[in-house]
Structure 1
Amino acid sequence: MKKTKKISVIILLVIVIASLIAGCSNESSSNNSSSDKQVTIVWSYWGDPWEVAIDKKIAADFEATHKNIKIEQQYAPWSSYFQKLQTQWSGGTSPDVMFLNNTVSYAKTGVLQEITPLAKKYGYNLDDYYPEQLKEFQYDGKLYGVPRDNDTKVLFYNKKLFDDAKIPYPDKNLTWDQLVDISKKLTKKDGNVTSQYGIAFDPSFWFLTTWMNGGQLFDDDSNPTKVLLDDPKAIDALQKLGDLINKDKSAPPYELIKDSSQISQLFTTNKLGLIVGNHALIPSFTKVADLKWDVTYLPTIGNNPKVNVAGGAGYTISSKTKHPKEAWEFWSYLTGPDAQKLFTESQLIVPANKKVLNSDTFLKQSYNAQVFIDETKAGRAYPTTPKANDFFTATNQYFQAIWTGQKSAKDSVNEALPQLKKIIESK
């Protein structure tokens, strides 16, 4: 009888222990299930078809190594992208991770997450970027994103046209006066019709020529209180560009240079000798098998120091995200070397990440990629004032008269100044 009782007690203990183990197992399973629960992160971006294809691959690669995070992609064309975001923000929602430019104007409204505390928390190295690159993502001393790529400008040259004209290829010692002279020599006419142009540029790059000439747009690029475009150096820079079109006639008319695709077509059909442009032109050039071309450095103007453009559009995190940890994981992947390498292999960008910029992935090209690296080091951030968008919209409208030859640079600047001062100098 006692033996039976002992057996019963043992059986009861076994049942209790088994129940406890099962309970712990279920609790552990429940915890794992919770941690493995899939979270959806919304990623918004704009872009040409090549960009969209790379973005889709990046999302797929990320999901393959982050099973608990699903990336919902919110694409919109440039023409409607920002309006769509504004509508979402007004309604109290937002994508978790966003591709943005003019970041300062959005950071000011509070819709973006500050990056620096997160970088410190997760060990993200912000030293992988040049300080000038990060300026465009800083507001009130705080960082709200990092660039995807650099909008570095270089000088593209058509080797065939240089060879035909028996002109040496341009190098890093090129001056503005030499550039003007070469552009004239490369220009050809058949009667009154220009069959070959010497040089082309995007008129919206006018501010870079202003910097190259020692001029300034404002007294302070972050917190401007005064417009400085009436300075003789700034006016002279604008007139230099206008003269290429209307005086020397070595540059195509405004109608042919306001669209980069038309500039590219002139170059690839051997009707254009030089282009001031960025890396985005390269894919269209590499597709033309018999096109002989390379890149070199922008010219210097007088004794002014070397200057270029730093930074471009980049990635930000919403302050409204409901999944901050997962949003950070995806953001840090987007801005890290793996995603940067994918974009670099497309041949369309100058990577912002210094490690990728100086890697064989970028350097081993059929053209002189080192030029982009050297010019990037001379980069200067776009004006970071939230008023910059309105300023450039106004200047591009007024300065069109310079490109079409209807007005001198001085007259156009004087006409624009009241509106520009209203934008910049008003409280």
Structure 2
Amino acid sequence: MKIKGTALLAIGMSAAIALTACGTNSGSNSGNAASGNSGKASNADASGGTEAKEVKLRVGTWDGGDSLKIQQQIADNYMKAHPNVKVSIESVPDQYGTKLLTQIAAGQAPDVFQIGDGDISMFMNKGSLEDLTSYIQGDNGIKLDDYYANVLDVGKLGDKYYTLPKDYSDLAVFYNKKLFDEAGLPYPQAGWTWEQLYDTAKKLTKKDGDRITQWGVNLPGAWTRAVLPLINAYGGSVISPDGEKFDGFMNSDGTVKALELYQDMYQKDRISPSSTESAAFKGVDLFAAGKVAMSVGGRWPVTDYKSNKDLSFGVVAMPAGPSGAANTICYAGYGLYSKSANKDEAWSYLKYLTGPEGQELLGAYAFTAVKATAEKLGQTNDEALKPFLNDIPNIKDFPEKTSPYFSTTGGKALQSVMDKMMLGKPIDVKKELDAAAKQGDADLQTAKSE
């Protein structure tokens, strides 16, 4: 069974679902959570002396194929233990975000629904997500220490939790042991730096005249989320901590230096294939094919790499910079609809889905945030997965979490800079970031006033 990391889909979904101005959280249902979460939900007490009422729960997801089969298996297992509950999985693989927003506008969203990391803040501001904090702390709650904190906290805004994690991946660097051995280079080790990655990649880049036959590393191109670890490692950022300003942050010294280094990797020393060069291989995984010696990415290709008999590879944590180590995350979670008619029952299922029972199935093909489940599934001892887990403490907040307006304001301006950088002609990074930051601030003020 092959399942691509659904956490990656969260990033794509954010672009499809994001709107301009979002309403503020009315909090009209938050009191119900506090007063109703006694830990005596009818489904949790189905074994009591009185017959439990029949409850119908709807669960929204963008999953399809094998991933959907796993979700259905989890629902079936839950219903066997809670015969009074009927769980219906509503799969919308295409245009999921559009349909979900339509359902929310009509007051008819699923009781529990899947959500990408970049949209949590938006849905919270729209008043669509139930504050889970009282449920977490209630008699039928969960122990926060049972989860990897930096993963769990993706669903935390301020001091309140709005989603629980389905799956996720941070980033790491894959390296081809054969190509390192041929070059007589030591394998990279945890604690290495971006400068060391750069220097190593230059040594592993091979040319035939002006034509490159082997690149030292495959970098994430214009994917801004994946460039954040480099920016943060150099002390930079892209938005103020309060989400109110881009100027002075997106164009800070650390951000400028990081992106100047990034541009040099692509255009000065050409240690990473450009988008045009990658496209020429028509979808071939350049790392698996031995065309690049290192590759920055999530855990998604690990299963395929392990099954490739011609590939001997290792994995190492992301490099550190002058400001220390930094990583980022791709995350898919579940939230509880603020207008659900069965909040206690929905919480019980949400807890099951994202807890040890559900995660033992979901975690077979993705990272789980439940520590004991990760250990049970062997993720903590797998040499190809441990570097990801070891780097979880270095995950930093991403700008879409800081501001629900990021994608359509500063994020759009920053993306334009990254796209220009990838065109092959050097840009004045400082000048471009100054303009992007100012444009982002102007767009942010407009968005907040609408």
So what's the TM-score if we normalise by structure 1?
0.83
Match of residue 420, structure 1, among 418, 430, 440 = 440
Deviations, residues 27-84 of structure 1 (Å, cap 9, x unaligned): xxxx9896253x321111124644333223322322332222222112223x511111
Are 1:379 and 2:392 an aligned pair?
no
Match of residue 158, structure 1, among 176, 193, 197 = 176
Match of residue 95, structure 1, among 74, 86, 110 = 110
Counterparts of 2:282 and 2:122, CA distance in 1: 29
Shift in Å at residue 281 of structure 1? 2.2
Shift in Å at residue 197 of structure 1? 1.3
Contact 2:364–2:377 (Cα < 8 Å) also in 1: no
Match of residue 358, structure 2, among 321, 335, 339 = 339
Contact 2:375–2:381 (Cα < 8 Å) also in 1: no
Are 1:59 and 2:80 an aligned pair?
no
Counterparts of 1:335 and 1:215, CA distance in 2: 33
In the alignment, residue 381 of structure 1 is paired with which amino acid?
D
Match of residue 314, structure 1, among 324, 328, 333 = 333
Contact 1:210–1:237 (Cα < 8 Å) also in 2: yes
Deviations, residues 232-273 of structure 1 (Å, cap 9, x unaligned): 2101111212221111111010245699994x7111111111
Deviations, residues 12-36 of structure 1 (Å, cap 9, x unaligned): xxxxxxxxxxxxxxxxxxx989625
Cross-structure match for 2:98: 83
Contact 1:132–1:310 (Cα < 8 Å) also in 2: no
Are 1:168 and 2:183 an aligned pair?
no
Cross-structure match for 2:134: 117
Contact 1:158–1:293 (Cα < 8 Å) also in 2: yes
Cross-structure match for 1:245: 266
Give the 5 Å matches for 1:254-269. Answer: 254-255=275-276, 262=283, 265-269=285-289
Contact 1:246–1:404 (Cα < 8 Å) also in 2: no
Gap change, CA 1:415 and 1:149, over 3 Å in 2: same
SS of equivalent residue, structure 1 residue 267: coil
Contact 1:154–1:372 (Cα < 8 Å) also in 2: yes
Deviations, residues 109-134 of structure 1 (Å, cap 9, x unaligned): 11111111112221322232344434
In the alignment, residue 85 of structure 1 is paired with which amino acid?
L
Match of residue 345, structure 2, among 319, 323, 326 = 326
Match of residue 389, structure 1, among 397, 401, 407 = 407
Are 1:106 and 2:123 an aligned pair?
yes
Match of residue 146, structure 1, among 157, 161, 164 = 164
Cross-structure match for 1:399: 418
Match of residue 61, structure 2, among 32, 45, 68 = 45
SS of equivalent residue, structure 2 residue 293: strand
Gap change, CA 1:246 and 1:369, over 3 Å in 2: same
Contact 1:218–1:229 (Cα < 8 Å) also in 2: yes
Counterparts of 2:87 and 2:412, CA distance in 1: 34
In the alignment, residue 279 of structure 1 is paired with which amino acid?
R
Are 1:73 and 2:84 an aligned pair?
no
Counterparts of 1:258 and 1:229, CA distance in 2: 30
Shift in Å at residue 199 of structure 1? 0.6
Shift in Å at residue 231 of structure 1? 1.2
Contact 2:246–2:438 (Cα < 8 Å) also in 1: no
Structure label with greater radius of gyration: 1
RMSD: 2.6
The farther-off stretch of 197-206 and 252-261 is 252-261
Are 1:282 and 2:291 an aligned pair?
no
Match of residue 136, structure 1, among 146, 151, 154 = 154
Counterparts of 1:415 and 1:240, CA distance in 2: 19
Counterparts of 1:194 and 1:56, CA distance in 2: 48
Match of residue 252, structure 2, among 213, 231, 236 = 231
In the alignment, residue 244 of structure 1 is paired with which amino acid?
M
Gap change, CA 1:258 and 1:148, over 3 Å in 2: farther
Higher helix share: 1
Give the 5 Å matches for 1:23-42. Answer: 35=52, 37=54, 39-42=55-58
So what's the TM-score if we normalise by structure 2?
0.79
Cross-structure match for 1:180: 198
Contact 1:132–1:379 (Cα < 8 Å) also in 2: yes
Shift in Å at residue 103 of structure 1? 0.7
In the alignment, residue 352 of structure 1 is paired with which amino acid?
A
Counterparts of 2:213 and 2:68, CA distance in 1: 36
Runs of 5+ consecutive residues of structure 1 not aligned to the other structure = 1-30
Runs of 5+ consecutive residues of structure 2 not aligned to the other structure = 1-47
Counterparts of 2:362 and 2:257, CA distance in 1: 38
In the alignment, residue 330 of structure 1 is paired with which amino acid?
Y
Gap change, CA 1:51 and 1:255, over 3 Å in 2: farther
